[in-house]
Structure 1
Amino acid sequence: MLFNSIGFLVFLPIVFILYWFVFNKKYQHQNLLLLVASFYFYACWDWRFLFLLMFSIGLDFLSGIQIEKSKTNKEATFWLTLSIVINLGFLGFFKYYNFFVGSFADLLGGFGFKANVWLLHIVLPVGISFYTFHGLSYVIDIYKKRIKAERNFIDYAVFVSYFPLLVAGPIERATHLLPQIQKKRIFNYEQAADGMRQILWGFFKKMVIADNCAPLVNEIFNNYHTESSSNLVLGAVLFAFQIYGDFSGYSDIALGVSRLFGVELLKNFAFPYFSRDIAEFWRRWHISLSSWFRDYLYIPLGGSKGGLWMKIRNTFIIFLVSGFWHGANWTFLIWGGLNALYFMPLLVTNKNRQNLEVAGMGKFLPSAKEIFQILITFILTCFAWIFFRAESVAQAFSYIKKIFSNTLLSIPQPFPIKILALTAVMFIIEWINREKVHGLKIERFNPWVRRGVYIIIIYIIVRYANFGNNEFIYFQF
């Protein structure tokens, strides 16, 4: 079930009414409702993979209890290893089997050997990368004695399968979400109203920006051989707008929907295209994934405690693993490696944490220096997005090579004035509210001004949105 579908617009009010008016006596009853609703939400995509989700939930629930009950570290390590191996085994089988088998066959072919390999022809279970990481962080935190094992199966199952975050995050932590699940929730009008504003902004970014950019991006990337250089540049820039509108739009909807049920999820985006360097960009883009790799991979590898070479090694590892997490393709590994290279000058000069506050903090406009830094960071990011979007490494390099031709300075044809104008509206609103939690948090303005803005946003969605039930990009990850 997609957030941007008629089915969800029927599903959400029903669950909301039942949650607050029928099952509101005890939070345990609300949790049971959320679990049933979440399973139904997931089953609407493909009911067969619901059993895989249930197995993953049961595995980590029992593993957590066994880790806590273990009398020796060896026994606890066994249960932790069992959970990690099975979880990553399922993830690897469904997501990476074809990649590894195909790469091995290509390697043998390079030495003159022909290998007949068996490839899978199944759909990747939606959300598997996200709910697998929920479970992994949970059992690791128990092993590290950061949290106690949960004994209530329903509460734990809601933590993993909570429908707003189930298929594309944010990647939650048990330390943050479970305490909210295990207490009585009281309806808060201000929280719910702001949640509705965040949902509205998410729909604007997804349906107006991302879904209008998508057809032109697809046209340019699919026919890059015949496109002018300026059109290829436009394609890369529009994909940057598309993936931001798509993924941050999803996150805004997810966070806003969750707030309707009195639950606050982790913030996943913080206006990343206003970043002044790549380090700042990665503190603001897909925050829940970046922090997950920091806490469960970078720090266990030694983090920044070792010498410079250890820092460089660990940084490359997390960027490459992050790239591989996104998909089984060499393009994602190159994308991750590029971002690691971008990061190196900042790491070597100890300037990777120099921009912790938002650009132009407390001012209406940024300085000329900040504008230049934001522009350079955006250009570097767009260049890396070419590998992310390309179907193959060969296509990515051909695309880049063709950019640098004698048509680079020509005007793109056709020039998408409507898309660029709507994108400008999005960035202007987000710049004004860049110090807030989301782009449409404008409570400081006069009530009539706020209502006018909401009406204009709704009108733009009705007038310009692409109502094609387009899937979210991160469903494939």
Structure 2
Amino acid sequence: MLFNSIDFAIFLPIVFVLYWFVTHKNLKWQNFLIVAASYLFYGWWDWRFLSLIIFSTAVDYIIGRELENEGHQIKRKVLLWISISVNLGFLGFFKYYNFFLDNFVTVFTFFDQPINPQGLNIILPVGISFYTFQTLSYTIDVYKSKLKPTRDFIAFSAFVSFFPQLVAGPIERATNLLPQFYKKRSFEYNKAVDGLRQILWGLFKKVVIADNCAEYANLIFNNSEDYSGSTLLLGALFFTFQIYCDFSGYSDIAIGTSRLFGFNLMQNFNFPYFSRDIAEFWRRWHISLSTWFRDYLYIPLGGSRGGTWMKIRNTFIIFIVSGFWHGANWTFIIWGALNALYFLPLMLTKNNRNNLDVVAKGKLIPSIKDLSYILLTFSLTVFAWIFFRAESVGHAISYISEILSPSLLSIPKLADMQNVLITIILVVCFVIIEWFGREEQYAIAKFGLKWRRPLRHAMYYVIIFTIFWFWGKEQQFIYFQF
């Protein structure tokens, strides 16, 4: 079920009414309703994959209970590795089986030993990369005694399958979200209004910006051999804003929807394209995943505590694994390695913690220095996104080669330049709004809190009108494929 669909527009009010007017007196019934609604929400794509969520939930619930009762350290490690093996085993089979098989065949063919193994037509379950990491955080935290295991299977099932963030995050920690299912929730009008406001902004990002940018990004990337370097650069810029508005738009809708039901999810994006270096970018981009890898992979590997070689090794591991998490393609691995190369000079010179505050905080415009750093970081990010979007490494190289050719100096040409210009204007307006709202959790929170009611309502009506004007494409969210 897509957030930007009629199905969800019907589903959400029904669940909201049942939640606050039918089950509100009983916490267990509220949690049970969340589980039922979440399974319905997920099963709307394919009911068969519900068994994976249910099995993963049961395994980690049982292992959590066993870890509580087991004092022997070796047996505790065995239990932990059972959880890791089950969760990553499912993820590896559904997401990476054919990737490893194809590369295995390529290696043997290279050595003149052709083989013909049997590939499988595997359908990737939606959201499997997200909910497996979420359940793993629970088991690991219980193992490390950072969290007491739950005895409430319904609450734990609700934590694993919570429909607002089930298929594309934020990837919540058990230490943050699970305890919220133990507490009685009371309806808070201001919290609900803020949630609706964030949902509205998320829909604007997705429907108005991301989907319009996607139309031209797809056209240009899929037919890159037909276009000049300037048009290809325009396509890379369109994808840059498509992926940000698509994914952060989903997160905004997920966080806003959660607030309607009395839950607080972590912020997943914090205006990353205003970053002054790549380290700041990764503190602001897909925060739930980057902090997950930091806490459960980077720090256990030794983090930055060791010598120079260990720091370099750990940096490449975390970025390459992050790239591979996104998909079974060498383009994602190169994208991760590129970001590691961007990050290394900052880490080795101990400048990776320089920009911890909001850029130009309290100011209307940034300084020349800040602006130049923002543009440099943005340019490096756009370059890396080309590998992320390309169909193959060869496609990415040819795409970049054409951008760097003399045709870069030509005027971009597309069949429908009038609508292209409208999309560019929309993106510029969006960037301006984001800039003025960069000190809040999401851009229009500032205007919703500080503007007078007539101006506030006028802004909402304009956003709603624009959403309905561009509604109808119902493009799937990009991160559903990851």
* TM-score between the two structures when normalised by the length of structure 2: 0.98
- 1:391-412, Cα deviation, whole Å (9 max, x unpaired): 1111111111111212101221
Q: Which secondary structure does the structure 1 equivalent of 2:214 belong to? A: helix
| Residue in structure 2 matched with residue 240 of structure 1 by the alignment | 240
| Residue in structure 2 matched with residue 427 of structure 1 by the alignment | 431
| Residue in structure 1 matched with residue 478 of structure 2 by the alignment | 473
Amino acid at match of 2:276: R
Q: Distance in 2 between matches of 1:12 and 1:118?
A: 43
| Residue in structure 1 matched with residue 122 of structure 2 by the alignment | 122
Q: Distance in 2 between matches of 1:72 and 1:203?
A: 50
Q: Which secondary structure does the structure 1 equivalent of 2:80 belong to? A: helix
Q: Which secondary structure does the structure 2 equivalent of 1:408 belong to? A: helix
The Cα RMSD (Å) is: 0.8
Q: Distance in 2 between matches of 1:289 and 1:354?
A: 21
Amino acid at match of 2:454: W
| Residue in structure 1 matched with residue 441 of structure 2 by the alignment | 437
Q: Is the 8 A contact 1:269 1:286 kept in 2?
A: yes
| Residue in structure 2 matched with residue 156 of structure 1 by the alignment | 156
| Residue in structure 1 matched with residue 467 of structure 2 by the alignment | 461
Query: Percent identity among equivalent residues?
Result: 60
Q: Is there any run of 5+ residues in structure 2 with no aligned partner, and where?
A: none
Cα distance, 1:308 vs structure 2: 2.1
- 1:101-124, Cα deviation, whole Å (9 max, x unpaired): 100100111111111021121210
Q: Distance in 1 between matches of 2:471 and 2:403?
A: 29
Amino acid at match of 2:131: Y
| Residue in structure 2 matched with residue 187 of structure 1 by the alignment | 187
Q: Which secondary structure does the structure 1 equivalent of 2:46 belong to? A: helix
- 1:403-423, Cα deviation, whole Å (9 max, x unpaired): 121210122113421111111
* 420, 429, 452: which one aligns with 1:446: 452
- 1:434-455, Cα deviation, whole Å (9 max, x unpaired): 0101111021122211111111
Q: Which secondary structure does the structure 1 equivalent of 2:220 belong to? A: helix
* TM-score between the two structures when normalised by the length of structure 1: 0.99
Q: Is the 8 A contact 1:212 1:466 kept in 2?
A: no
Q: Is the 8 A contact 1:240 1:385 kept in 2?
A: yes
- Point out the more displaced range, 160-169 or 20-29: 20-29
- Point out the more displaced range, 161-170 or 214-223: 214-223
Q: Distance in 2 between matches of 1:133 and 1:267?
A: 17
Matched, 1:303 2:307: no
Q: Distance in 2 between matches of 1:224 and 1:466?
A: 27
Cα distance, 1:19 vs structure 2: 0.3
Amino acid at match of 2:462: I
Cα distance, 1:71 vs structure 2: 2.3
Q: Is the 8 A contact 1:15 1:37 kept in 2?
A: yes
Cα distance, 1:466 vs structure 2: 4.1
Q: Distance in 1 between matches of 2:388 and 2:266?
A: 25
- 1:209-257, Cα deviation, whole Å (9 max, x unpaired): 1101111111111111110000010011100000001000000000000
Q: Distance in 2 between matches of 1:75 and 1:406?
A: 64
| Residue in structure 1 matched with residue 372 of structure 2 by the alignment | 372
After TM superposition, which residue ranges in structure 1, 4 or more long, deviate above 3 angstroms? none
Amino acid at match of 1:425: C
Q: Distance in 1 between matches of 2:430 and 2:189?
A: 26
- 1:119-176, Cα deviation, whole Å (9 max, x unpaired): 1212100010101001111100011010111111000011110000000000001110
- 1:242-287, Cα deviation, whole Å (9 max, x unpaired): 0001000000000000000010101100000000110000000000
Q: Which secondary structure does the structure 2 equivalent of 1:164 belong to? A: helix
Matched, 1:277 2:277: yes
Matches within 5 A, 1:307-326: 307-326=307-326
Q: Is the 8 A contact 1:68 1:76 kept in 2?
A: no
Q: Is there any run of 5+ residues in structure 1 with no aligned partner, and where?
A: none
Amino acid at match of 1:60: D
Q: Is the 8 A contact 1:67 1:77 kept in 2?
A: no
Amino acid at match of 1:450: R
Q: Which secondary structure does the structure 1 equivalent of 2:154 belong to? A: helix
Q: Is the 8 A contact 1:211 1:466 kept in 2?
A: no
Cα distance, 1:90 vs structure 2: 0.8
Q: Is the 8 A contact 1:102 1:117 kept in 2?
A: no
Q: Distance in 1 between matches of 2:318 and 2:459?
A: 41
Matches within 5 A, 1:45-194: 45-194=45-194
Q: Is the 8 A contact 1:275 1:377 kept in 2?
A: yes
Q: Distance in 2 between matches of 1:67 and 1:311?
A: 32
